[in-house]
Amino acid sequence: MSAAGTTDGRLPRNATVADHVVARLAEWGVHRYFGYPGDGINGMTSALQRAGDRVEFVQVRHEETAGFAASAHVKYGGGPLGCALATSGPGAIHLLNGLYDAKLDHQPVVALVGNTALTAEGGGYYQEVDLLALYKDVAGDFLAQLDDPSQVRHLVDRACRTALSRRTVTALVLPLDVQDEPAVPDPPHAHGYYHTSAAPSSMPTVPPEAELRRAAEVLRGGEKVAMLVGQGALGAEAEVRLIADRLGAGVATALLGFTAVDHREPWVTGAIGLLGTRPSWQLMQECDRLLIVGSNMPYSEFYPPQGQARAVQIDLDGTRMGLRYPTEVNLTGDAGPTLRALLRELGDGPAPTAWRATIADATSGWRQAQAELAGQPAHPVNPQLLFHTLNDVLPDDAMIAVDCGTATAWYARHLQVRPGMLASLSGTLLSMGGAMPYALAAKFAHPDRPVVALIGDGAMQMNGVNELITVAKNWRQWADPRFVVLVLNNRDLAFVSWEQRSTEGTPRYPASQDLPDVAYHRWAEVLGLDGVLVDSPDQVDGLWRRVLTADRPVVVNAVVDPAELMLPPHFTLDQARKTAAALLRGDTDRAGIVRRGIPATLATYRPRRR
């Protein structure tokens, strides 16, 4: 590979700056671009066209989707770097929300945004926006405007290296006229020019032996060990299991780390936090040791009380350790090799079996209660039943995309994902509208695997109905056509309604919460896809087998009960008082909440089995 910056050592004849950008990004592993065209990036889209089948441009319906999809491209293993391409002005502005998702979930993404021609800058030209000011937060680790052809190598190299090394978003602003200038693949060997490398930087792997020994000493004395695993543990599933068995630990998971463990295991307590499980709450309340692996879950009230447990943390980024709980030993390193080294330091020893039995007992009781809740009658369909029955038929290679809202709660409490599956969501930004872009990115990364998107009707109305057009445009090229979209149609922004009740003590506000009832299944049929209406519990039996064997993408329009109760694993007295006050003040869902709330409360807070 030559310094010219292309994978075959040559740039096209009469190559432009845009050609050079595309070729240099290819050296860093960027072969797929998510975006939407516009005159501010005409030079770039022309260069992508000239690159032919060496690159792929995925045209989405909105730039926000491009940002989400670039983040999800990395999350679902599509490549080391995500890349989003947007035009100047409005396109660059639209892109921001998806880029913030990548930034907050620590996904390496390079954003390429067009800009006003250099000759027109400062003149109040159409779509002229100060992009360097606009992007200085989301791409604060590296942001630059490419003003001269000789800058391509070092700006692209630095943008990619920074994104990968710091697992963040970087951005290059590309003025329109510069994109079409002649490429300078080899800058002069002179003052003021750079000759940079496209070789990736190595990453920290294993902490020093002395620190590993200290961590082993802290953990070895535990009789009640808890582990919290997040997305940093992905790829280290075997090591997580081995060290959990060695310590006799129970394992709770942050939502981004769901597939790091097998949720069918009795010692896996499931999700932690407001949407988490009761066993995960109990695990943290009763443990005497805590090992945090690749997680920065921010709800501090769901960690052990301060002083109760001695704690060790493992993370690639030393700046993110000890932020949620006062850890004694912080191990900077990659989860897999660090856990293997820690396991060697721990050596052989008996695991506390009584603690594992306690965890298994609590977990079994919780799972039984959730199954009972899923089977309770609702009006018209119990949304939990749709999630619970998915477990029976979910393929081993399934990819799951989850939106923010009630879908997140039912996913966290019902789906028993397992290693081999891929699953993700907007974990820190918690943005609505992420599931469809995530599902698209997953499918482009692995066109031979099935994908299931779990979406509320609010998020579906945001961008889901539009991105179904993207699905309709592309599905015939996928080796496996299975692309299932479950829409929870309760005509309510239900998650926000529950937040208003439990935190504000105010009843549901129809003007802000009501959503129009949309025939999502009919829209799918208009697009040439399959659509299924589920408005009776009798239609749930066999539903998933049908849609997961369909010969094309399917949208399931599930008309579900808006009063289905979401209780946190630790429901405070203040939350109970405010929810009761909201009902007494005339909440429009009052009757349904009372009807659904009694069995939910009893099942969630039943004593664990002995």
DSSP state of 381: B
Max intra-chain CA distance, the chain: 78
Residues 69/426, Cβ–Cβ less than 8 Å: no
HSE toward the beta carbon, residue 546, CA cutoff 13 A: 13
Is residue 120 packed enough to be buried (19+ CB in 10 Å), middle (13-18) or exposed (0-12)? middle
Least Cα distance to 256 among 75, 486, 388, 387 occurs for 75
3-state secondary structure of 408: helix
Chain CA centroid to CA 23, Å: 29
Residue type, 11: L
CA angle 377, 382, 386 (to 5 degrees): 130
Report long-range pairs for 315-321 (Cβ below 8 Å, ≥24 apart): 315/232, 316/167, 316/203, 316/204, 316/232, 317/106, 317/167, 320/296
Element (H, E) at 134: helix 131-134
Is 227:379 a contact under the CB 8 Å cutoff? no
Give the start-end residues of each E strand in 125-249.
143-145, 169-175, 225-229
Nearest to 41 by CA among 104, 95, 112, 108: 112
Say what angle helices 465-474 and 435-445 make with each other, to 10 degrees. 10
At residue 610, the pLDDT reads 43
Question: Nearest Cα to 489, choosing from 426, 424, 415, 555?
Answer: 555
Q: Which residues of the chain have pLDDT under 50?
A: 1-9, 602, 607-610
SS3 assignment, position 434? coil
Four-residue CA torsion sign, 513, 519, 520, 521: positive
Q: Return the SS3 of 71.
A: helix
Predicted pLDDT at 609: 47
**Of 369, 104, 411, which is closest to residue 253 (Cα–Cα)?**
411
Nearest of 344, 366, 358, 483 to residue 416 by alpha carbon = 366
| 423 close to 258: Cβ distance less than 8 angstroms | yes
Query: Do the Cβ atoms of 461 and 519 come closer than 8 Å?
Result: no
pLDDT at position 493 = 86
The runs of H, that is alpha helices, within 415-530 are 435-445, 457-459, 465-474, 494-499, 510-513, 520-526
Q: In what order do the strands lie in the sheet with 169-175?
A: 56-59, 32-35, 82-86, 109-115, 169-175, 143-145
| C-alpha span between 423 and 407 (Å, rounded) | 13
What residues contact residue 302 under an 8 Å CB cut-off, 6+ apart? Answer: 272, 273, 274, 276, 280, 281, 284, 570
Other C-beta atoms lying within 10 Å of the C-beta of residue 585: 13
Q: Which residues pair with 109 in a beta bridge?
A: 82, 169
- What's the pLDDT at 504? 72
Q: At what angle do helices 406-414 and 383-390 cross, to 10 degrees?
A: 40
The whole-angstrom separation of Cα 453 and Cα 427 is 15
Is residue 380 reached through a cis peptide bond, with omega within 30 degrees of 0 on the bond before it?
A: yes
Name the token pair of 559: 């008309």
From CA 602, how far away is CA 578, in angstroms rounded? 19
| Cα–Cα nearest to 285, from 254, 257, 250, 328 | 250
- Residue 58's pLDDT is 98
Instruction: Note the pLDDT of residue 20.
Output: 97
Residue for token pair 């989860």 = 335
